[in-house]
Amino acid sequence: MGQSRSPLDVADLERLAARGWRAAEEAALGDWLLRAAGGFTGRANSVLVTGDPGLPLPGAVDAVARWYAGRGLRPCAMLPGRQSRAADAAFAAAGWERDEDVLVLTAPLTAPTADGVAVDLSPEPDDAWLAGYRYRGRPLPPSARAVLTNAGDVVFASVRRDPPPAPLAAVGRGVVTDGWLGVAAVTVEERYRRQGLATAVMAALQRWGAGCGAAWVYLQVSASNAPARALYRRAGLIEHHRYHYRYAPA
């Protein structure tokens, strides 16, 4: 992947990414996007703050809090880039707690040649895939499958090194939206790490994305995840912007 300037700004890329990781329920608050999915992932259970909410910011903060409380979820806001600074200040003033930075990385898409690692691609995640994707180190909740499959062009990659019932060695998810490949859920089972499997999964997803007409790739990685950041840097992905979550007082 070569390095060049992304054709989308922060707001447009975040709105595109929201279509690649869609919540079960969505609603508009002006330009903001309210999302709920039973608590599985911050992205599917936070208001995406881009543009104008259509009312003064303190009122918008209150409206967001009511919407999530009405669904039994801790209110959460996703605040990307410099464009969300005024809103971030309003959430902070209301006592909402800030989480760590998440980096959004992008690159022009290339299709790397296969490297000998067998990567299986499937349009649906089977039970082994769902067991292999450890979201924040934990097993997936029942609401996860609906979020993972709620997209048009979506694929689930898996690498098996030992026969069942041994767990999969690695998994990952790819989705193509308007010519962009979104990569997520790349997870390598602990005993199979440092064998190039994450790189192989990334490459297989890139080849699949290129076959679906994608020209760019994006993904999200926590600022504290140094091994993943190093992997993606080697793959040619560069920082486009950052976002963080704010959570209403518990």
Residue 202 is predicted with a pLDDT of 95
Confidence (pLDDT) at 4: 63
pLDDT score of 246: 98
Lookup result for tokens 């996703």: 78
User: Looking at residue 115, what is its pLDDT?
Assistant: 78
Phi (first) and psi of residue 120, to 5 degrees = -90, 135
Distance CA 100, CA 224 (A): 8
How confident is the chain (250 residues) per 10-residue block, as mean pLDDT? Answer: 75 97 97 96 96 98 98 98 97 98 96 87 95 80 91 96 93 98 95 92 96 97 94 93 96
**CB atoms near residue 47 (< 10 Å):** 28
How far is the C-alpha of 19 from the C-alpha of 185, rounded, in Å?
16
What's the pLDDT score for residue 3?
53
Q: Which CATH superfamily is domain 110-214 in?
A: Gcn5-related N-acetyltransferase (GNAT) (3.40.630.30)
- For position 230, what pLDDT does the model report? 92
pLDDT value of position 51: 97
Question: For position 140, what pLDDT does the model report?
Answer: 85
Sequence-separated (6 or more) residues with CB below 8 Å from residue 228: 186, 198, 221, 222
Distances (CA, A) of 35 to 13, 21, 77, 195, 206: 17, 10, 10, 37, 28
Query: Are the C-beta atoms of 102 and 139 separated by less than 8 Å?
Result: no
Domain ranges of the chain: 10-103, 110-214
Q: Tokens standing for 130?
A: 């769902």
Look up the pTM and report it: 0.94
Give residue 143's pLDDT.
86
Which residues contact residue 122 at a Cβ distance below 8 angstroms, ignoring those fewer than 6 apart? 129, 155, 156, 158
Look at residue 88 in the predicted model and tell me its pLDDT.
Answer: 98
Maximum distance among all Cα pairs of the chain, rounded to whole angstroms: 58
Element (H, E) at 127: helix 127-132
The distance from CA 89 to its chain's CA centroid, rounded to whole angstroms, is 24
What pLDDT is recorded for position 112? 82
